[in-house]
Amino acid sequence: MYGHWYPHGRDNVTFARALLVECRAIAFSMQAIREINSHAQLVQTEDLGKTYTTAKLAYQAEFENERRWLSFDLLCGRITPTHSMWGYLLYCGMSETELKEVCQNIYCPPDIIGINHYLTSDRFLDEHLENYPTWTHGGNGWDKYADVEAVRVCTDSVAGVYTLLQEVWERYNLPMAVTEIHLSCTREEQLRWLYEVWNAVQKLQAEGVDIRAITAWALLGSYDWNSLVTRSAGYYEPGVFDLRSPQPRPTAIAKLVRDLATGNQPYHPLLNTPGWWHRPEPGNKFVVAEDAIISPTYIPDLVHTSLDLLIDGESGL
């Protein structure tokens, strides 16, 4: 819906068509694979967040928080004329006959539901456009609003990864894994984010939720992920290993991953401090050139924003 990747559409029709084609391809691919290996399992991943809004835009949050389940609902055979998104898919230009036929051919429930969740996956919609830079402005055809990262403007009310995984379990009751855990930030904050997700998963397991694993993605880091690979700038973010040395160099995350994988209790003084997304002290947010409220740690939004230099008396920015 943001038009970042092919076919770069930002309209409902393109979204619905692309989603149905993808789900049908998944189902047909698994059918072909299982003809060779009947024990093959489908780990279906999806980015999962939640939309928050002002009171005026509550109807849009309700819609988006239902639409986010479409891929899993399609694969699980839940899209029928009584589904809340049936009318939306018809609105996107599909005939009822075509939609019924497509949904009947898609059935392929995941063996494991893979959830990719980032601190920036949750969105906040606000009709007060004057409070946000123009590149955040959008709308739905009825109301205009800014679409921004919820963690930066309504930290106290964001559900968090524990609640989101709980919602997945209650909706599907299928085995789960957290398939992407990453934060483009300082090493300290990366440690805190990974450990927070681990603790959430441990709590869910203790409550009887069938959640199998977490994934320290990306193991070897990633290139140009700060722009969602929309530019070839060669920007590198280290992961568990840093590839900028002659040999892959283990980072601080490697020690944490090793401890978690071997059942050892991690010990690092940095883990006693909450991540920046939990810290309310002054300095976690400030105003940059375009009056965009951001965190002092690196975020993808900086590719759109001119950042004034701030010296904080220690290491600066």
- Tell me if 213 sits within 8 A of 111, measured CB to CB: no
Encoded amino acid at 197, one letter: V
Please give the pLDDT value at position 281.
58
Encoded amino acid at 240, one letter: V
- Residue of 223, 182, 175 lying closest to 201 (CA atoms): 175
Please give the pLDDT value at position 1.
59
Which of 141-145, 228-232, 296-300 shows the highest mean pLDDT? 141-145
Please give the pLDDT value at position 5.
82
Tell me the per-residue pLDDT of 187-196, one tens digit each, with 9 for 90 and over: 999 999 999 9
Segments making up each domain of the chain, as ranges: 281-317
As a whole number of angstroms, the distance between CA 94 and CA 97 comes to 8
pLDDT at 177 over 50: yes
- What's the rounded mean pLDDT across residues 172-192? 95
Question: Where residue 154 falls among pLDDT bands split at 50, 70, 90?
Answer: confident
- Tell me if 224 sits within 8 A of 235, measured CB to CB: yes
CB burial of residue 276 (10 Å; 0-12, 13-18, 19+): buried
Residue 218 gets which letter from DSSP? -
- What's the rounded mean pLDDT across residues 109-128? 96
Please give the pLDDT value at position 75.
97
Please give the pLDDT value at position 282.
57
> Please, what is the average pLDDT of the chain?
88
Please give the pLDDT value at position 314.
47
- Tell me if 123 sits within 8 A of 49, measured CB to CB: yes
Tell me the per-residue pLDDT of 234-292, one tens digit each, with 9 for 90 and over: 999 999 999 999 999 999 999 999 999 999 999 889 999 999 998 875 555 433 333 33
